[in-house]
Amino acid sequence: MWILGLLILGIGLSILLPSFVGGAWSPTPMPVVHKMLEYARLQPGETLYDLGAGDGRVIMTAGGLPGVRAIGVEIDPLRWALCKWRARGRANIQVLRENMFHLDLRDADVVTFYLSQGAADLLQEKLQAELGPGARVISNRRPIPGWQPQLVDEEFGLYVYVMEEQGKGNKS
């Protein structure tokens, strides 16, 4: 009986805790994922990071594009495990169990996310510091404060940013 209790507690915590550090899980509908990747304009040799990978749908789709490396970061152990399982045998798809705020994004060509507005606000400074000129940021539903989007897709709820339009990053 106590094992069942622990299991329920674990699942409950995995649902609740991420909402305090970036946003609860809510999957992006697949047509929106495809639209995000269309705006990302990924080229062979480029790297995409999905911050808060959820069930891995963005990295699995991006990792199917020719020559693209896709990295998902997920704080919740259950969803991280699901992503790891889905990405098994796919050398160009990596899944990290980490807090995205502690991750080094300097090798990102594209960053995607679907998080709370509070997390988008906090990410602004980090993205500004770490992304290089030409990097694209595609935010699902959340505008990044103080940044001028290159494009707003109201139908799909997407904000598309390009780094040279936000000032130079300090990619080394």
CA atoms within 13 A on the CB side of 50: 29
Three-state secondary structure call for residue 71: strand
Using rule CB under 6 A, residue 171 touches ligand SAM: no
105 is a site residue for ligand SAM (CB under 6 A)? no
62 binds ligand SAM (CB under 6 A): no
Contact by Cβ (8 Å): 88, 76: no
Cα torsion at 21, 12, 143, 105 (round to 10°)? Answer: 50
Closer by beta carbon to ligand SAM, 12 or else 133:
12
Using CB under 6 A as the binding rule, whether residue 139 contacts ligand SAM is answered as no
Which residue's CB is nearer to ligand SAM, number 99 or number 165?
A: 99
Q: Which stretch binds ligand SAM (CB under 6 A): 20-28, 37-45, 127-135, 151-159?
A: 20-28
CB of 131 to ligand SAM, least distance (A): 17
Please say whether the dihedral angle defined by the alpha carbons of residues 125, 163, 144 and 114, taken in this order, is positive or negative. Answer: negative
Site for ligand SAM contains 118 (CB under 6 A): no
Contact criterion met (CB below 8 Å) for 60 and 33: no
By CB under 6 A, which span of 83-91, 98-106, 124-132, 164-172 interacts with ligand SAM? 98-106
Which residues lie below 8 Å from residue 51, measured CB to CB, with a gap of 6+? 22, 73, 100, 103, 111, 112, 113, 115, 123
- Cβ-proximal residues to 66 (8 Å cutoff; 6+ apart), any chain: 44
Site string for ligand SAM, 31-60 (x = CB under 6 A): -------------------x-xxx--xx--
- Decide if residue 63 touches ligand SAM (CB under 6 A): no
Q: Which residues bind to ligand SAM, rule: CB under 6 A?
A: 18, 21-23, 25-28, 50, 52-54, 57-58, 73-76, 79, 99-101, 114-115
